[in-house]
Amino acid sequence: MRINANKIVYFLFLLLLNLSCSKEEKQLDNEDLIFSDSYRIEIKPYSYEDQFGSIYSVKGDTVYYAFQPDTLNNAPLFKWDSSGYSLQVVAVFNSPIEISGNQIVNIDNVVWQWHSGMKFDKKRNIKYSEGKNVLNGIINYNDEPIPLNPGNYYWAVWGWNSDATRILFSSRKMWFYVKE
């Protein structure tokens, strides 16, 4: 029995094609994102003006590689790009964000949060006043947010699938400083 080399190549091609088109979910490995098994939410550089006319600049994703944080006011504006998902969160932490096993480890360090169930003027362009303070992992829905104290803060954005069972998108860990 003689085997044709072209048939072997064709068979291997079909086998590889079939393996690459498997219906299993592909494991993502985006180590610079807060949730490495997610797609990237881009945060482009932007500026905003506060109520007193001061202008603040946010480096966007490039702050991830910076040695200096952005210097912002005590009620910053958070801005990001997204791909149309509806369940979103932006959170501010008072220490670096820690993730293990796709879970936030230091949830008690969240000091402010906004999610897509809260009010907003423009999604992906959230004013600090549209979110709420968080204490011991619990959002205070009853009161207006208290401005941030001077110090270093970290923020990130993430979004879930439509039934909120899996985080599909996340940003890099962003870093800023509030001066007195």
The pLDDT tens digits of the residues spanning 16-47 come to 334 344 333 556 667 889 999 999 999 999 99
- Read off the pLDDT of residues 58-104 as tens digits, 9 standing for 90 and up: 999 886 677 889 999 999 999 998 666 678 999 999 999 999 988 99
Contact 15, 8 (CB under 8 A): no
How far is the C-alpha of 91 from the C-alpha of 72, rounded, in Å?
16
Name all domains of the chain by residue range, CATH numbers in brackets.
Answer: 27-178 (3.90.280)
How far is the C-alpha of 167 from the C-alpha of 157, rounded, in Å?
11
Q: What is the mean pLDDT of the chain?
A: 84
pTM of the model: 0.81
The pLDDT > 90 percentage for the chain reads 61
How far is the C-alpha of 180 from the C-alpha of 57, rounded, in Å?
17
Pairing between β-strand 70-72 and β-strand 55-58 as defined by DSSP bridges? unpaired
E strand map for 87-166:
87-93, 99-100, 103-104, 110-115, 125-127, 132-135, 138-139, 151-160
At 137, which amino acid appears? G
